[in-house]
Structure 1
Amino acid sequence: MTQQIIIATGAIFGMLSVILGAFGAHALKKILSSDQLHSFEVGVKYQMYHAIALLALGFNSSHISSATYWCFTLGILLFSFSIYGLVISDAKGKKLRFLGPITPIGGLLLVIGWLQLLINAL
């Protein structure tokens, strides 16, 4: 994975995290319950944490394998974006239940990405 791709991916996820966070805080605040808003915010936070990790690793690309990159990238997509879909669809009364099992798969990919970093550091 090239340094530019890693940094660009981190920057895109970071930018989307800010946009989605603002969307949740302003537009969705009126239609979501406090539990739904909390879940949405968890998705935004995890997305931003991993965007920052990708940026840091991109600027020091000797510590990131392509497997780590893909675990973080797919983990963000599956974890955070499934939460967004679940929360918004639930608020509209048509919960997309098929997304429920996708969230923990995304979380597992994020954990595996961190484990790979640990292994690479040792």
Structure 2
Amino acid sequence: MTAKALLLAGSVNAALCVLLGAFGAHALKARLTAELSDIWGTAVQYHFYHALGLLLIGVLALHWPASGLLRTSGGVMLAGMIIFSGSLYLLTLTGIRWLGAITPLGGSLLIAAWVLLCVAILRS
């Protein structure tokens, strides 16, 4: 991913976090159990942290444009966000519990993305 693509993905995802957080707090408030509301909150929280992470990686990619590892970190982080938060959003909206089994895969990708970022920084 290019620096511009990382910055765009980070900013679009940050906007989605605000939208989905408001949707959960207002439109879903009366429809969700306390447990499902907590799950939605976790999805938004991790989504937002990693949207900021994408912005950070995008800024670093402007400074180190030759770092393929840095760009890989961003791609892995984006995939992790989609799988982690996406599975929790879907679980909350549909009640399909097996979606929770997918969530740790997304979490593993998020961890890998941060580790890749560390390695990219050390190599730069």
Aligned to 2:86: 81
Structure 2, unmatched stretches of 5+, are none
Taking structure 1 as the reference length, what is the TM-score of the superposition?
0.89
Q: How does 1:30-49 map to 2 (within 5 A)?
A: 30-49=30-49
- Aligned residues of 2:91 and 2:100 also touching (Cα < 8 A): yes
Structure 1, unmatched stretches of 5+, are none
Aligned equivalents of 1:32, 1:72: Cα separation in 2:
28
Aligned to 2:13: 13
What is the count of residue pairs matched by the alignment? 117
Q: Percent identity?
A: 36
Aligned equivalents of 2:30, 2:55: Cα separation in 1:
33
Aligned equivalents of 1:87, 1:79: Cα separation in 2:
13
Aligned to 1:108: 108
Q: Over aligned residues, Cα RMSD in angstroms?
A: 1.4
Q: What is the CA deviation profile of residues 14-72 of structure 1, one whole-angstrom value per residue up to 9, with x for unaligned ones? A: 11110000000001111001111011010001000000111122122127622201110
Taking structure 2 as the reference length, what is the TM-score of the superposition?
0.88
Aligned equivalents of 1:9, 1:108: Cα separation in 2:
20
Q: What is the CA deviation profile of residues 67-111 of structure 1, one whole-angstrom value per residue up to 9, with x for unaligned ones? A: 201110000000001000001111xxxx252x2221110000000
